[in-house]
Amino acid sequence: MSVTEFPAAGRDVALDGRPLRIGAAIYHPDTRRLETEGEMSLLEPRLGDLLMRLAGAGGPVSRDALLDDVWGDDGSDEALTQAISKLRRSLGDENRPYRFIQTIPKYGYQLQAEPVERSAPNAVRSSLAGSLMAHLRGRREFYKGLATGVGLMLALILCVKAVSAPTTIEREMILCPPGAPEGECTAMLDRS
């Protein structure tokens, strides 16, 4: 496939702000949230723009077009390469051959993704439910750990207090001189 066969750099696919499915991941462009395996992460603005630029093309996009559209005058080949690597890591696509963001040699990149259909909200709803369940599991584990930590701290404080508290021994002594009548004895309290 030659460079002239690739679609123009313009956005050919109308996404209308709909979530984008990339393999098992779902990207929500309005919030820049990427949901993978029940975990939500927030993409940096430039990574979100790059992802949407690739998705909107509907085919391969040249490196020059990506640099112009996403970075403007601030872009460099190294910045684009690093951003593509970060996106691949975020999508869990780190091993070659890449499944989602494919490199087109001597040209650019192509994203394998599809918009989530508006008529199928169950896909988004079920993925959000999975995300919520993962969040709640994480919260529950946090509170269990917190309660365990507080209990251990209290036990430690009680042990330290018991060990460091001064021990007083009280002894009561009754002194009676030899041959003294019964009522003339002296009581003494020894605290040592």
| Per-residue confidence (pLDDT) for residue 140, from 0 to 100 | 73
pTM for this structure?
A: 0.52
| Per-residue confidence (pLDDT) for residue 13, from 0 to 100 | 47
What is the Cα–Cα distance from 52 to 31, expressed in whole angstroms? 12
What is the Cα–Cα distance from 164 to 170, expressed in whole angstroms? 19
> How big is the chain by its Cα radius of gyration, in Å?
36
In CATH, what number does 3-117 get?
Answer: 1.10.10.10
| Per-residue confidence (pLDDT) for residue 192, from 0 to 100 | 59
Q: Phi first, then psi: give them for residue 175, nearest 5 degrees.
A: -100, 125
Domain ranges of the chain: 3-117, 137-191
> Which residues of the chain are under the pLDDT cut of 70?
1-16, 114-138, 165-170, 183, 187-192
Tens of pLDDT, residues 100-133? 888 888 888 888 776 555 444 455 455 555 555 5
Return the H-helix or E-strand segment holding 127.
Answer: helix 121-164
